[in-house]
Amino acid sequence: MSSISQDFAPPFKLIAPFFILGSFFYLISSLYVFSFNIEDLSFLNPEVLGFVHLFLLGFVMMIIFGAMAQLVPVVLEVGHFGVELFYAIWPLLLIGSVLMVFGFLFSPALLPYGGVIVLVSMMIFVMEIFMTIFKVEKLNLVMTSVLISNTFLFFGIIFGLLIALAYAGTINLDITSLLRGHVYLVVAGYIIVTIMGLSVVLVPMFTLSHGFSMRPLEIAIGLMTTGVVFVVISSMFNIIILEYLGYFLSAISLGFYFYLIYIIYDTRPRKENDVYAISLMFSYIAMLVSIVLGVLYFIMGSEELLLACGWVLFYGFFAFLITGHIYKIVPFLVWFERFSPLVGKQKVPMLADMVPYKSSQAQFIFSALGVVVVTIAILTKSDMLIGAGASFLVVGAVAFIRSLFYMINFE
Amino acid sequence: MVYTKEEIFLAISTVIDPEVGFNLVEMGLIYDAVSDDEGNVKVTMTLSTKACPLHQMITAWVKEAVEKMPNVKEAEVEVVWEPVWNISMADDNVKKALGA
């Protein structure tokens, strides 16, 4: 019998805080959108930087870290090195994220403190993942992607800390050039490479797809890794041609990745369009839209296009991929803890029974509308549409929190 | 008493995959089952994915379901990855319900 992980399901109480906090950060990020002043929207605006850190650290990273506590053994096929370390990660990430957001909004002096706390939190996470990877005898492609993404995260947070120190005036560095490296290491190097690796395990698992080639993923990860390295080198040595080559390779990489996801989707035996399936469809369409907006930005040079590209990537691609997977991961963890001991003794629910239909659908519809309306608002510079989009997003986020608590408390 | 493959499959059909809602037999995940006259049963099965987080639990349920059969002393469950499972191995009712 093949040896497979011994610890596939860590205790839910360990993972629950990540998901609960993450969902509240999603709501707060959505409320934050109301404060956007369309005329002042710019990538270096402290309000935008505060929003980006609120969303990425509080929501995206918080939920990815929690999900990794469960998914790492699934993907790496070995038990965690020290899963208890996750008890320390979320409080540090919470405090660090809040300090950083307040730092951007009110007092840059807080940034190094928040940055150091986030750094400690992420270092614990990265080291735990590295130590777990060391237990793997032979790395496959997906395991390699976890190694690559966490290496990028390691350097991404070092860059981030340097920027925080420079932003607060503690050290003297060129923030703008380092920022490119930081953003690319964290967003493309960590988040996107992690998504690429994990999704080719999770999506076929939930759709029952089989028999597809992993070659497109191999190419996608290779191109994205090269692209990230190029952009990071260019950010340190200001080599413009390398920077653009990095962006180009990243766009091609996403194309290969999308092709693989399309093949998995197209050959799936499980055709039901539940909230998971529609969330993923929206997510990947958002990814394509984001690429198109990014390409248009390079052709036309208008900052609105770049802002819209970032917005669709974050709130369309990342957010829907995350919320969609929450509807699979949380029921599994709750079921595993609460109902699996009752199998064979009494009737137990199926995982799909634990997902609230109305609130999950409401979450999808309102959040999707919000993403579309805010995108149009950014492109047309309409403050009124920003407010309308934010309203949809807030309703969607409330429905998401309601769905999450329904699944957590399912009896 | 020696059980037939069909009788053992019937016992295993009480085990449901909570993700898809079908039993393991109709999913086509149970490849073989043999028993001897000393009450030992060996089940050969697979899972729909190597990354299945319920791996150990499902094999334990199969073992338990078989050991509930009268005169079965011990059941051994072997998980194999060849042939790789695919939807064509499932019963028609499963394929229809999934939309395959």
For A:50-89, CB contacts with B below 8 A are 70, 73-75, 77
Measure the CA–CA gap between B36 and B45, rounded to whole angstroms.
Answer: 18
Q: How far apart are CA A363 and CA A356, in angstroms?
A: 11
Supply the pLDDT for residue A72.
86
pTM, full prediction: 0.91
Say whether both A374 and A387 belong to one domain.
yes
CA distance A288 to A257: 11
Q: Best residue in B31, B49, B79, B88 to probe A by mutation, most A CBs within 10 Å?
A: B49
pLDDT of residue A41: 85
Structural domain ending residue among the three candidates A137, A154, A172: A137
CB-closest option in A9, A339, A343 to B61: A343
| Selected residues 27-46 of chain B with any CB under 8 Å from a CB in chain A | none
Which pLDDT belongs to residue A6? 44
Class of the CATH domain delimited by B5-93 = alpha beta
A36/A47 Cα distance (integer angstroms): 8
Q: Are A181 and A236 in contact (CB under 8 A)?
A: yes
- What is this model's ipTM? 0.82
Q: Is the dihedral of CA A247, A249, A253, A256 positive or negative?
A: positive
**A112 and A174 share a domain?**
no
Measured between beta carbons, which residues in chain B are less than 8 angstroms from residue A335? 18
- Specify whether A258 is located in the same domain as A306: no
What SS3 class is residue A91?
Answer: helix
Contact B52 A77 (CB under 8 A): no
State whether residue B89 sits within 8 Å of chain A by CB: no
Strands B40-45 and B74-79: parallel
Q: Is residue A159 within 8 angstroms of chain B, CB to CB?
A: no
Picking from A74, A271, A336, the nearest residue to B51 by CB comes out as A74
**Which residues on chain B are in Cβ contact (under 8 Å) with A269?**
86-87, 95, 98-100
Q: Are residues A299 and A264 in the same domain?
A: no
Model pLDDT, residue A21: 97
Looking at the fold, whether A219 and A317 belong to one and the same domain comes out as no
Together in a domain, A286 and A407: yes
Same domain? A304 vs A172: no
Q: What is the pLDDT of residue A71?
A: 85
On chain B, the residues whose CB falls within 8 A of the CB of A350 are 16, 18-19, 21
Report the pLDDT value the prediction gives residue A4, as an integer from 0 to 100: 42
Strand partners, B43: B33, B77
* Band (B53; pLDDT cuts 50, 70, 90): confident
A110 in the same domain as A223: no
B54 lies within 8 A of chain A by CB: yes
Q: B51 versus A318: which is more confidently predicted?
A: A318
A344–B56 CB contact, under 8 Å: no
Q: What gap in Å lies between CA A160 and CA A112, rounded to an integer?
A: 10
Nearest C-alpha in B relative to A75: B51
The last residue of a domain, from among A137, A159, A176: A137
Tell which residue, A148, A58, A154, A142, has the closest CA to residue A99. A58
Q: Is there a single domain that holds both residue A158 and residue A266?
A: yes
* Count: domains in chain A: 3
Q: Which of A70, A76, A205 should we substitute to test contact with B (largest number of B Cβ atoms within 10 Å)?
A: A205
Mutation target to probe the B interface, by most B beta carbons within 10 A, among A208, A340, A342 is A208
Find the mean pLDDT for residues B4-20.
92
Q: Does one domain contain both A149 and A243?
A: yes
pLDDT score for A312:
97
**Chain B partners within 8 Å of A271 (Cβ):** 98-100
pLDDT at B56: 84
CA distance B54 to B46: 12
Residue type, A254: L
Which of left, alpha, beta for B56 (phi over 0: left; psi -120 to 50: alpha)? Answer: alpha
End-to-end CA distance of chain B: 40
CB < 8 Å to A70, chain B: 53
Residues spanned by the domain of A329: 275-333+350-411
Residues of chain A where predicted confidence (pLDDT) is lower than 50: 1-6
Helices (H), A106-214: 110-133, 141-167, 175-183, 193-207
* pLDDT at res. A43: 80
The pLDDT of residue A9: 66
Residue among A4, A68, A72 with most chain B CBs within 10 A, to mutate = A4
The pLDDT tens digits of the residues spanning A180-221 come to 899 999 999 999 999 999 999 889 988 888 888 999 999 999
Residue A344 lies in a domain: no
Residue B76 has pLDDT above 50, yes or no: yes
Domain boundary among A90, A120, A137: A137
Helix A357-380, helix A319-338: angle, nearest 10? 160
CA angle B25, B31, B32 (to 5 degrees): 105
